[in-house]
Structure 1
Amino acid sequence: MGPGDPGTMFPPVPLVALVAAALLIGGFLVRQIVKQRKPRGFPPGPPGLPLIGNILALASDPHVYMKKQSKIHGQIFSLDLGGISTVVLNGYDAVKECLVRQSDVFADRPSLPLFKKLTNMGGLLNAKYGRCWTEHRKLAVSCFRTFGCSQKSFESKISEECLFFLDAIDSYKGKALDPKHLVTIAVSNVSNLILFGERFRYDDNDFLHMIEIFSENIELATSAWVFLYNAFPLIGFLPFGKHQQLFRNASEVYDFLLQIIGRFSENRKPQSPRHFIDAYMDEMERNEADPDSTYSMENLIFSVGELIIAGTETTTNVLRWAMLFMALYPNIQGQVQKEIDGVVGLNRMPTFEEKSRMPYTEAVLHEILRYCNIAPLGIFHATSRDTVVRGYSIPEGTTVITNLYSVHFDEKYWTDPEIFYPERFLDSAGQFTKKEAFVPFSLGRRHCLGEQLARMEMYLFFTALLQRFHLHFPQGFVPNLRPKLGMTLQPHPYVICAERR
């Protein structure tokens, strides 16, 4: 054969290797087909593509897609996420029926490859429903009470952070600014006081970089690449794809958290905790003789990271949406300011105690939470044992998605839900009224443990901001009201002018 002959360029592949490859591919296909078979009595759902099921349908506005599918298949239907059998709960009645009436059954987390890789199913938010979750949630709740919102003095610390935030905005002298950076640091500093006992400066670029990485991972976590990785973990060996960026980000954050945990645990006195890190290390020492203890440095890192992002991402986006909507609806902004002026005045900071005397302000904040759906799908749940719901059989370990967007746009409970209308939270006498189908912090065993703190933050930052400033868009600026898709729905970057009143 000559040098250009194909036979010399591509040596023949041994027949045994070809047969082995064919068997591997055939075995994979058979396994995937078996995985994609629905269990007997499983809820119906939309048809999917071979191998990948309904994954591609979730690439854009999955919460909207799921609500539309519920019109066809009912409030409880199934999706095939590449062989991962998944049940979706739509509407308030279905979510309440599962998360409240069968709270233990729906309190688990799915053992998805992404969760296993990032947290080994430990920590707090992604922990399996068992000892690890019980111990870590109990400790977190205790620390929130001891170092946070159960202390009257903690409100003054939030108000102090509000002043730093307002002064930072004031430095722009009414010129256009993108508030994301300032809001993010201000909100995260409230959680930082509980976790580390200290706040971070607004020009601390290392901490801001970590928060931005967290925010990027929140977006990446719902990309098609991640859904594909969960279905086919072998693609983790590919050097490209958004899942690889997520992994690189997570590794960088892990190293940073290890560093700041070491920094804030210096000069620690055992059993005299100053913050969450100290309290956690006390538990590690107290349980070091227990071979089954779930307290570890790895789980401390996971817990701190989860509490930072949970305490920052959602409240930050609520306030960013609130600022955008106040500039968009100056008449609503004016009514809020009139109420603040009448109850608080202009010469002192608002207090949380005055919230009950400001029903319209409370209604506006609630409507922002309802309408903007900061966490439309929450965090995925899983069934801890076999169960039956509305005649459907749902096996143990089934992934469960709670579509909170569909709850807040449930026509049974909300009139014209697609309209931004704060008055829906007021009665005929103009007093604030609670709504049963208002569940931005979810329901059941896994509901947000920082709800009380988040409500206090949102109210104090929002009222302090509108007490001092009038918000409006620069001349000719038109905001993009379509949310950026991720595990949370955040506004696209925008600029706003904050002029002293």
Structure 2
Amino acid sequence: MAETSTEARTWLLRPPTATELLLVALCWLGCYWLLRRRPRPLSGLPPGPAPWPLVGNFAFALLPPPLLRRWAVDVKGDRLSPAFSPHVFLTGLTKMYGSIFRLFVGNRPFIILNTFGAVREALVQKAEVFSDRPSVPIVLMITHHKGVIFAPYGPVWKQQRKFSLSTLRHFGVGRHSLEPKIIEELNFVKEEMLKHGKNSFNPFPIIRNAVSNIICSMAFGKRFNYEDEEFKTMLKNMARALELSVNSYMILVNICPWLYYLPFGPFRELRQTELDITAFLKRIIAQHRDTLDAANPRDFIDMYFIHAEEEKNNKESSFNDDYLFFIIGDLFIAGTDTTSNTLLWCLLYMSLYPEVQEKVHAEIEAVLGRDKVPSLAHKAQMPFTEATIMEVQRMTAVVPLSIPRMASETAVLQGYTIPKGSVIVPNLWSVHRDPNIWEKPDEFQPSRFLDENGQLIKKESFIPFGMGKRVCMGEQLAKMELFLIFSSLMQSFTFMYPENAAKPSMEGRVAAASGHTVVLVDQSDEILKKSTKGIEDSLKRVIKKKFADNPEAGAEFIKKTLKNVTTSTDAASVVHSTDLVIEAIVENLEVKNKLFKTLDKFAPEHTIFASNTSSLQITKMANATTRQDRFGGLHFFNPVPMMKLVEVIKTPMTSQKTFESLVDFSKAVGKSPVSCKDTPGFIVNRLLVPYMMEAVRLFERGDASKEDIDVAMKLGAGYPMGPFELLDYVGLDTSKYIIDGWHSLEPNNPLFAPSPLLNKLVEEKKLGKKTGEGFYKYK
């Protein structure tokens, strides 16, 4: 042991061996090779972050998903920090690099377009250059570049897309002739929903079944029963394949294609799922070929067979069974997942915004009544319903990043040189949240799509289906389904979120008021028990007034409220699942900063921090964290259950989105928020504390007794409490801490001069009502 230790300690003192010199040389050569392999931004490219050797800007993709979720990056200020969604991450990068920037995947530049102007220039004005698809290994392995969605731009793609669109129109897409099939499916949807009675349920499987069946009726010539095992397996496999293909492990396949063939994990599962889908679709295609009647085509497959036969002598024809297989898959991709998810979001927004749901109901009642079946003919008479659907599409952007395009030749875009082969990624999420186009873009406002007369406005920057030559093939079908299904469901039902269920966070937007589930955190269980008891006692006082005529309802109110309150002594262990953290500890900046710095390490990226301080600067607390833009003040007033006011404090760094979320939260808990900049004392205390201190000085000088001062202010000024009663209620230590802090900031301001009498009472632990004595004595 001793010899080994000596050897280790003296290694640097002896001459290196030849082997050791060789290893050092190889290390240096390896580092030099990696640096030489590092992607070098080409001249004229948009700005962007420096890439890593070999992997470019996506080194984090090498992490396993659990770590990826923890360490994915977003932009805060001038650095990267944890985030969760690629489209939010890319939108955040605009703060550093502008509205168009580049990233590298390996050595390949990816150009991210974040504004409507950039997207329109690329996809419409220069469509011939930017309509191709990049050759991405994972996509190539799954689709073989066939079908329509992922196929390269060219004559074959044009043939297949033209036929697909004309055949869909033949079967009624965009026309009234398809309505009966949609309405028929809606009857099954309503029947399934009614089975749940008044019990809560997840509507997504029912909606997905319906939307999928509409595609099946056009593609296969039949609909499936919702309990059909073959149908359920097909939907399950297609959903799973889509989920696996965008799994973070699959990003690695684009860097190391051989990973796709690994015999384990998600790689093996994706290949098996593909085989199952292939077997299902090819079995149906074979059945159609065996039963084809060219004089009476039943569906899309029959029409494809007939057209392929007509074109068999055309050397330029690309119509064959392989292409048919992939086009059927494209129909389900284009027509099922996005429409189902949009409808689910519609129902969710209606349950969370009942005032909007009421307006939709009112419009439907006026136009359709209870018995009239919705039709596309009614669309023009129902502008608010249509505007609501459009606003849901804008807010959610179920395809936030449009399927990438590729530059087929070198071109200039937004003043930058885009080399041939570059990948173009339109960020539709960013376009639909652009504050330069959309006023208060993070607010759900259907009225933004209506003019002053309540008529629908067509906004060119509203592009949920993309733009240009490769606009979504299922756009017209989706628009039909969205209007007919949503209006029919609204005609028949009122959707409400389960009363005791935590509300979901809305993607891309911090729903600070989601859930109202509270975790009370303090230093010891004893303090927490007292705090919980204090909340219960406070609620009992409230219900004496609020539920004076119905004590049973009051008791139930207390029960439900306390059910939403849990406690913990470990803030770090509970903050990971929060949307909003409100601090209300001792008025000591150092202590508060220490707490916020700790919580900042464990809280999710979207979590907003707020302080309930009545006197300290919010900015100084925000600077102790990495989330200055998600930091603000929420100053409640005692007694909180009774006092309606909340001061919402916005620092120079607080984002508008955060500020609006804090205002929304205040309203959601029944308060009346007022806004204020981060100035000492905010509004109320800035006026109130100097008033109380002047009362103390008036008493100190012997100009009037504290009792007379209190009576004078109550009777003369109409205040409910006199200044000395209020000081005792607030706590003399709190008032002293406030005035001392202000005095240190502005020592020459006479309004902030300390009071010897107040200092003396605090030193004697006479702090007011909470200690039994302050300016007055209490039992």
Q: TM-score range by the shorter chain?
A: 0.7 to 0.9
User: Is the alpha carbon distance of 1:35 and 1:192 closer, same or farther for their aligned partners in structure 2, counting shifts above 3 Å?
Assistant: farther
What is the alpha-carbon distance in structure 1 between the residues aligned to residue 251 and residue 114 of structure 2?
A: 20
1:225 to 249, 262, 274: 249
Identify the range of structure 1 (359-368 vs 199-208) with the bigger mean alpha-carbon deviation: 199-208
Contact 1:271 1:282 in 2 (8 A): no
Contact 1:229 1:243 in 2 (8 A): no
What is the alpha-carbon distance in structure 1 between the residues aligned to residue 265 and residue 46 of structure 2?
A: 32
Q: Which residue of 2 aligns with 1:207?
A: 231
What is the alpha-carbon distance in structure 2 between the residues aligned to residue 389 and residue 63 of structure 1?
A: 21
2:111 to 87, 94, 97: 87
Aligned pair 1:50/2:53, yes or no? Answer: yes
Q: Per the alignment, in what secondary structure is the counterpart of residue 424 of structure 2?
A: strand
Identify the range of structure 1 (62-71 vs 437-446) with the bigger mean alpha-carbon deviation: 62-71
What is the alpha-carbon distance in structure 1 between the residues aligned to residue 326 and residue 33 of structure 2?
A: 37
Q: Which residue of 2 aligns with 1:127?
A: 151
Matching of residues 200-349 of structure 1 within 5 Å: 200-270=224-294, 272-290=296-314, 293-349=317-373
Q: Per the alignment, in what secondary structure is the counterpart of residue 207 of structure 1?
A: helix
Q: Which residue of 1 aligns with 2:217?
A: 193
1:162 to 178, 181, 186: 186
User: Is the alpha carbon distance of 1:387 and 1:286 closer, same or farther for their aligned partners in structure 2, counting shifts above 3 Å?
Assistant: same
Identify the range of structure 1 (216-225 vs 396-405) with the bigger mean alpha-carbon deviation: 216-225
Contact 2:118 2:413 in 1 (8 A): no
Q: What is the CA distance between 1:103 and its match in structure 2? A: 0.9
- What's the CA shift string for 1:275-317, capped at 9, x where partnerless? 1111211233233344553222222111101111210001000
What is the alpha-carbon distance in structure 2 between the residues aligned to residue 423 and residue 209 of structure 1?
A: 41
Contact 1:165 1:183 in 2 (8 A): yes
Matching of residues 75-114 of structure 1 within 5 Å: 75-114=99-138
- What's the CA shift string for 1:33-71, capped at 9, x where partnerless? 547233332222122333222222578311011111122
Matching of residues 415-426 of structure 1 within 5 Å: 415-426=439-450
What is the alpha-carbon distance in structure 2 between the residues aligned to residue 133 and residue 411 of structure 1?
A: 37
Q: Per the alignment, in what secondary structure is the counterpart of residue 132 of structure 2?
A: coil
Q: What is the CA distance between 1:425 and its match in structure 2? A: 1.0
User: Is the alpha carbon distance of 1:433 and 1:416 closer, same or farther for their aligned partners in structure 2, counting shifts above 3 Å?
Assistant: same
User: Is the alpha carbon distance of 1:386 and 1:27 closer, same or farther for their aligned partners in structure 2, counting shifts above 3 Å?
Assistant: farther
User: Is the alpha carbon distance of 1:37 and 1:213 closer, same or farther for their aligned partners in structure 2, counting shifts above 3 Å?
Assistant: farther
User: Is the alpha carbon distance of 1:51 and 1:60 closer, same or farther for their aligned partners in structure 2, counting shifts above 3 Å?
Assistant: farther
What is the alpha-carbon distance in structure 2 between the residues aligned to residue 367 and residue 209 of structure 1?
A: 33
Q: Which has the higher contact order (CA 8 A, sep 6+)?
A: 1
1:203 partner amino acid: E
What is the alpha-carbon distance in structure 1 between the residues aligned to residue 214 and residue 261 of structure 2?
A: 39
Identify the range of structure 1 (139-148 vs 170-179) with the bigger mean alpha-carbon deviation: 170-179
Q: What is the CA distance between 1:148 and its match in structure 2? A: 2.3
User: Is the alpha carbon distance of 1:373 and 1:211 closer, same or farther for their aligned partners in structure 2, counting shifts above 3 Å?
Assistant: same
Aligned pair 1:172/2:190, yes or no? Answer: no
Q: What is the CA distance between 1:136 and its match in structure 2? A: 0.9
Contact 1:387 1:394 in 2 (8 A): yes
User: Is the alpha carbon distance of 1:117 and 1:338 closer, same or farther for their aligned partners in structure 2, counting shifts above 3 Å?
Assistant: same
- How many residues of Structure 1 are paired with residues of Structure 2 in the alignment? 462
Identify the range of structure 1 (288-297 vs 190-199) with the bigger mean alpha-carbon deviation: 288-297
- The two structures have a TM-score, normalised by structure 1, of 0.87
User: Is the alpha carbon distance of 1:320 and 1:29 closer, same or farther for their aligned partners in structure 2, counting shifts above 3 Å?
Assistant: farther
Q: Per the alignment, in what secondary structure is the counterpart of residue 69 of structure 1?
A: helix
Contact 2:261 2:268 in 1 (8 A): no
Aligned pair 1:459/2:464, yes or no? Answer: no
- What's the CA shift string for 1:2-56, capped at 9, x where partnerless? xxxxxxxxxxxxxxxxx9xx99xx9999599547233332222122333222222
2:50 partner amino acid: P
User: Is the alpha carbon distance of 1:213 and 1:60 closer, same or farther for their aligned partners in structure 2, counting shifts above 3 Å?
Assistant: farther
Contact 2:133 2:151 in 1 (8 A): yes
Contact 1:121 1:127 in 2 (8 A): yes
Contact 1:373 1:405 in 2 (8 A): yes
Q: What is the CA distance between 1:483 and its match in structure 2? A: 4.4
Q: Per the alignment, in what secondary structure is the counterpart of residue 385 of structure 1?
A: coil
User: Is the alpha carbon distance of 1:483 and 1:237 closer, same or farther for their aligned partners in structure 2, counting shifts above 3 Å?
Assistant: same
2:145 partner amino acid: M
2:181 partner amino acid: K
Larger Rg: 2
Q: Which residue of 2 aligns with 1:182?
A: 206
What is the alpha-carbon distance in structure 2 between the residues aligned to residue 390 and residue 153 of structure 1?
A: 44
Contact 1:84 1:231 in 2 (8 A): no
Q: Which residue of 2 aligns with 1:382?
A: 406
Q: What is the CA distance between 1:459 and its match in structure 2? A: 0.6
Q: Per the alignment, in what secondary structure is the counterpart of residue 359 of structure 2?
A: helix
What is the alpha-carbon distance in structure 2 between the residues aligned to residue 214 and residue 283 of structure 1?
A: 27
Identify the range of structure 1 (355-364 vs 227-236) with the bigger mean alpha-carbon deviation: 227-236
Q: Which residue of 2 aligns with 1:414?
A: 438
2:380 to 356, 359, 366: 356
What is the alpha-carbon distance in structure 2 between the residues aligned to residue 304 and residue 32 of structure 1?
A: 46
What is the alpha-carbon distance in structure 2 between the residues aligned to residue 280 and residue 29 of structure 1?
A: 56
Q: Per the alignment, in what secondary structure is the counterpart of residue 417 of structure 2?
A: strand
1:131 partner amino acid: P
Identify the range of structure 1 (233-242 vs 459-468) with the bigger mean alpha-carbon deviation: 233-242
Aligned pair 1:69/2:72, yes or no? Answer: no
Q: What is the CA distance between 1:346 and its match in structure 2? A: 0.1
What is the alpha-carbon distance in structure 1 between the residues aligned to residue 415 and residue 182 of structure 2?
A: 48
Q: Percent identity?
A: 37
Aligned pair 1:37/2:40, yes or no? Answer: yes
Contact 1:52 1:228 in 2 (8 A): no
1:43 partner amino acid: P
User: Is the alpha carbon distance of 1:30 and 1:297 closer, same or farther for their aligned partners in structure 2, counting shifts above 3 Å?
Assistant: farther
What is the alpha-carbon distance in structure 2 between the residues aligned to residue 355 and residue 107 of structure 1?
A: 32
- What's the CA shift string for 1:369-411, capped at 9, x where partnerless? 0001110012111112221113322122211111000110011
- What's the CA shift string for 1:414-450, capped at 9, x where partnerless? 0111111111111122222121210000000000122
Contact 2:37 2:53 in 1 (8 A): no
User: Is the alpha carbon distance of 1:183 and 1:343 closer, same or farther for their aligned partners in structure 2, counting shifts above 3 Å?
Assistant: same
User: Is the alpha carbon distance of 1:356 and 1:151 closer, same or farther for their aligned partners in structure 2, counting shifts above 3 Å?
Assistant: closer
What is the alpha-carbon distance in structure 1 between the residues aligned to residue 423 and residue 174 of structure 2?
A: 35
What is the alpha-carbon distance in structure 2 between the residues aligned to residue 101 and residue 407 of structure 1?
A: 17
Q: Which residue of 2 aligns with 1:403?
A: 427
Contact 1:78 1:88 in 2 (8 A): yes
What is the alpha-carbon distance in structure 2 between the residues aligned to residue 358 and residue 28 of structure 1?
A: 65
What is the alpha-carbon distance in structure 2 between the residues aligned to residue 144 and residue 35 of structure 1?
A: 48
User: Is the alpha carbon distance of 1:165 and 1:237 closer, same or farther for their aligned partners in structure 2, counting shifts above 3 Å?
Assistant: closer
1:424 partner amino acid: R
Q: Which residue of 1 aligns with 2:603?
A: none
What is the alpha-carbon distance in structure 2 between the residues aligned to residue 355 and residue 290 of structure 1?
A: 43
Runs of 5+ in structure 1 lacking a partner?
1-18, 485-501
CA root-mean-square deviation: 2.4
1:220 partner amino acid: L
Aligned pair 1:372/2:372, yes or no? Answer: no
What is the alpha-carbon distance in structure 2 between the residues aligned to residue 28 and residue 285 of structure 1?
A: 59
Q: What is the CA distance between 1:260 and its match in structure 2? A: 1.8
What is the alpha-carbon distance in structure 2 between the residues aligned to residue 415 and residue 221 of structure 1?
A: 36
1:386 partner amino acid: T
